[in-house]
Amino acid sequence: KRYSMVETVRVLHVDDDPDFVDLSATLLQRENDRFQVRTATSARKGLDRLATDAVDCVVSDFEMPAMDGLEFLDAIREEYPDLPFILFTGKGSEEIAAEAISRGATDYIQKTTETDHYTLLANRIENAVEQDRGRQCWERADKRRRRILRRITDGFTKLDGNLTITDVNDQTVEFVELAREELIGKNYRTLVSDDSDDRLLEAYET
């Protein structure tokens, strides 16, 4: 199913300044009434929150005691490799931004003295969560497709628009006596003899 625009988006905002993080939660929820913003005042408390609460996106400061934003990101990626993570900091740099992205951050936003950057942050959160939920839907559909392929007894070949083979099931491998690795990427036309009826190919292309 497609991502619903009425679904709740659960945000965890981590910053060592309790006043700032409370203000941020208020402003983000004002920007988007679907947001439920939880807060933590250290990376360690943030990890504890992740262990107990369902979270769709993490927003984190960079400069924090004991564990900074990049170390926090590393710890999250060990347990939650795909969870959207946005580094939101006022003391960063292009080098920190590049390092954050290379270590798996979804996005990087520089804080400003103006409150309108919360509009940008809210949009980035929404986009990141929408993409992540879309990925999850695709993965669930792909798992269902693979279960079906394992169960059916006929040979099944998946082709793209150019008739290149993108997937086959075990029955096809057994029938053509070629390994799956040999079939993937091969064009279907090369498996059809020159004197065979080409109506199937014409119908498929149509």
85-89 and 157-159 strand pairing:
unpaired
Distance, C-alpha 54 to centroid of its chain = 16
What digits encode the pLDDT tens for the residues 130-158?
A: 999 999 988 888 888 778 777 777 888 88
Kindly report, residue by residue over 71-105, the tens digit of the pLDDT. 999 999 999 999 999 999 887 678 888 899 999 99
